[in-house]
């Protein structure tokens, strides 16, 4: 299998800086293994930007399986904050995928940045948010359709960089030719419904157009947060 990808990260229409980071920085294609990732930083002052970039630098270079990469990123962010009061309390989401040309995708995930699989016209969310509203939905106390408007929708229950240890969730996907995989920050999913995301992935001829259209439509819907997307297409 071969992989063609496009990544975008955009400040949005409201925020004055971008605390998200994406990997890779450039679009491309490969017949070899591919690592992709999205991180959405949080924390006052410069903290969010530092947390997401330190996490991605570490997770994409350290080696090991996706969950090990995230645990290493966690320690790197904790270390970066140590003795630097300006960065105290910084953290980040991290969703990372490793594509194997033999046809497997391994995903590891902390926070509320998401991984989606688009296959045969159907969009399914692969990752499960570590967020307050996701817990409310699981407990039957909130209807899924009300989540997008909940006042605490951006409160995460797990993040990278807050503690020496972090609980990481892992998911596996057996890839098929024609699959499109989307990793994204909540700046996309707070602005667009899953149906809108599916329509954009369906309508774009190429991954770079899909990535451009996702960012454009999220900005068109308000762009209240930083918007980051990674779109990967699987070909024979
Ligand atoms: Ca965000």
- pLDDT for 135-158, tens place per residue? 999 999 999 888 888 999 889 999
Q: Span 182-211, mean pLDDT?
A: 97
Q: Which band of pLDDT confidence, cut at 50, 70 and 90, is reported for residue 50?
A: very high
Distance 176 CA to ligand 1 centre (A): 30
**Nearest Cα to 176, choosing from 127, 125, 120?**
120
What is the residue-wise DSSP string for 101-164?
Answer: TTTEEEEEEESS-EEEEEETTEEEE-S---BHHHHHHHTTSS-GGGGGG-TTTT-BS--BTSSS
Q: Span 167-172, mean pLDDT?
A: 98
Distance 186 CA to ligand 1 centre (A): 5
Distance 2 CA to ligand 1 centre (A): 30
Provide the β-strand partners of residue 41: 92
Distance 229 CA to ligand 1 centre (A): 12
Q: For residues 117 and 179, is the Cβ–Cβ distance under 8 A?
A: yes
Place of tokens 């890839």: 175
Minimum mean pLDDT range among 39-48, 53-62, 162-171: 39-48
Rounded Cα distance, 106 and 4, in Å: 17
Higher pLDDT, 159 or 144: 159
Distance 132 CA to ligand 1 centre (A): 15
Distance 226 CA to ligand 1 centre (A): 6
Distance 179 CA to ligand 1 centre (A): 26
Distance 235 CA to ligand 1 centre (A): 31
pLDDT digits (tens, 9 = 90+) for 12-46: 999 999 999 999 999 999 999 999 999 999 986 78
Rounded Cα distance, 133 and 152, in Å: 7
Higher pLDDT, 132 or 149: 132
Rounded Cα distance, 58 and 39, in Å: 12
Distance 143 CA to ligand 1 centre (A): 22
Q: Span 75-92, mean pLDDT?
A: 92
Q: Span 179-201, mean pLDDT?
A: 97
Distance 221 CA to ligand 1 centre (A): 15
Amino acid 147: pLDDT = 87
Rounded Cα distance, 187 and 177, in Å: 28
Distance 102 CA to ligand 1 centre (A): 33
Amino acid 83: pLDDT = 80
Rounded Cα distance, 134 and 131, in Å: 5
pLDDT digits (tens, 9 = 90+) for 207-218: 999 999 999 999
Q: Span 68-74, mean pLDDT?
A: 98
Distance 218 CA to ligand 1 centre (A): 12
């Amino acid at each position: 299998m071969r992989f063609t990808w496009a990544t975008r990260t955009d400040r949005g229409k409201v925020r004055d800086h971008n605390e998200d980071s994406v990997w890779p920085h450039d679009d491309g294609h490969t017949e070899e293994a591919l690592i992709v990732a999205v991180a959405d930083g949080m924390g006052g002052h410069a903290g969010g930007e530092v947390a997401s970039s330190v996490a991605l630098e570490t997770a994409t270079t350290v080696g090991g399986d996706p969950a090990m990469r995230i645990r290493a990123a966690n320690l790197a962010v904790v270390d970066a904050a140590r003795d630097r009061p300006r960065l105290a309390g910084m953290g980040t989401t991290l969703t990372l995928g490793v594509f194997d040309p033999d046809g497997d995708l391994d995903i590891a995930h902390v926070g509320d940045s998401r991984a989606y699989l688009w296959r045969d016209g159907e969009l399914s969310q692969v990752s499960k948010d570590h967020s307050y509203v996701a817990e409310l939905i699981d407990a039957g106390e909130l209807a899924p359709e009300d989540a997008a408007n909940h006042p605490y929708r951006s409160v995460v229950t797990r993040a990278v960089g807050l503690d020496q240890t972090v609980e990481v969730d892992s998911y596996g996907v057996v890839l098929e030719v024609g699959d499109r995989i989307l990793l994204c920050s909540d700046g996309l999913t707070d602005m667009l419904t899953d149906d809108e995301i599916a329509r954009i992935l369906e309508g774009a001829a190429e991954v770079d157009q899909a990535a451009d259209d996702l960012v454009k439509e999220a900005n068109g819907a308000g762009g209240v947060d930083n918007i980051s997307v990674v779109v990967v297409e699987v070909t024979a």
